[in-house]
Structure 1
Amino acid sequence: MHYTDYDTRLAAYAVITDDTGHVLLALWNEGSRRQWTLPGGGVELHESVEQGVVREVKEESGYDVELGDLLGVDTYVIGPERRLNGSGRPMKAVRALFAARVVGGELTHERDGSTDEARWISVHEVGGLDRVSVVDIGLRMAGLR
């Protein structure tokens, strides 16, 4: 399929851990059910990938972060029947995942956004959560799985 025949969504996510073995997750509310995800999301047209992830983390968690290494890039295809916007077109999701650390701010929950809550969760408890695939991908890329 030619690239003009499908949509592409560029997103960026942060894997943020603390010294006690916890990872910062956000509760995503836009799917068919609420699921945990890494803080992050769609990169705006005027932003770099790095600017997008820093903004998204701030919106979803209240934290200011400093980015570390690019952990990797993940892609997958969403069929037209699974699109949330009803466009009828398939979409290729391109997700850049970064290591990051908190440098300021205060844990707060996003209001009127794509997430309801941000929480530090033990890496060992993540396997028991209802979560989106980017959580496992990010933890694996960060060497935490």
Structure 2
Amino acid sequence: MEFTEYHTRLAAYVLLVDEVEGQERVLLAWWNGEGHSDPVWSLPGGGIDFDESVLDGLVREVYEESGYHVEPGALLAEHFFTGRGRTFDGWFRSQRFVFDATITGGELGTTEVDGSTDYARWVPLAELDGQPRADIVDVALAAREARK
């Protein structure tokens, strides 16, 4: 299919992992499903607006979903999937990028109003098994493991 025959959604996320008292934890955002899917943990980040760069959109999305200001770092992973549109007729390609980042300010707390993220939390990596989560979390954690 040629690029003129489908819609494209760009999205960028951060993988933030730290350690507290010997326990690694990851910053996750609770995606509320927006009325069409079951809620799941996801990475802070999301859709890039038409008039912004991927990195500018990443910084904006992370702040909205987590309350933290970040400085983007290295690209950790890129991933895409395709599907049929829910709000339009036709196919789409969702192109997603995961970046490393450094927190430079702010405080934990979702700043968006009536958005797709209800809250953000630091979740111990050891407690992720069995938790409902978006596949982008696993894509990011696998990329992190591959870099070790």
TM-score by length of 1: 0.90
Paired position in structure 1 for 2:54 = 49
SS at match of 2:11: strand
Paired position in structure 2 for 1:24 = 27
Indicate whether 1:137 and 2:144 are aligned.
Answer: no
SS at match of 2:18: coil
Paired position in structure 2 for 1:99 = 100
Report if the CA contact (8 A) 1:26-1:116 is conserved.
Answer: yes
Paired position in structure 2 for 1:9 = 9
Q: Deviations over 1:88-135 (max 9, x none)?
A: 211111001101121210111243111001000011212221011001
SS at match of 2:141: helix
The CA distance in 2 between the partners of 1:76 and 1:24, in whole Å, is 23
SS at match of 1:13: strand
The CA distance in 2 between the partners of 1:84 and 1:118, in whole Å, is 26
Identity of matched residues, %: 45
Indicate whether 1:63 and 2:71 are aligned.
Answer: no
Moved over 4 A (4+): none
> Where in structure 2 are there 5+ consecutive unaligned residues?
none
Report if the CA contact (8 A) 2:79-2:96 is conserved.
Answer: yes
| 1:19 CA drift (Å) | 2.3
Q: Deviations over 1:4-33 (max 9, x none)?
A: 111110100000111231100001112411
Match for 2:25: what amino acid? Answer: H
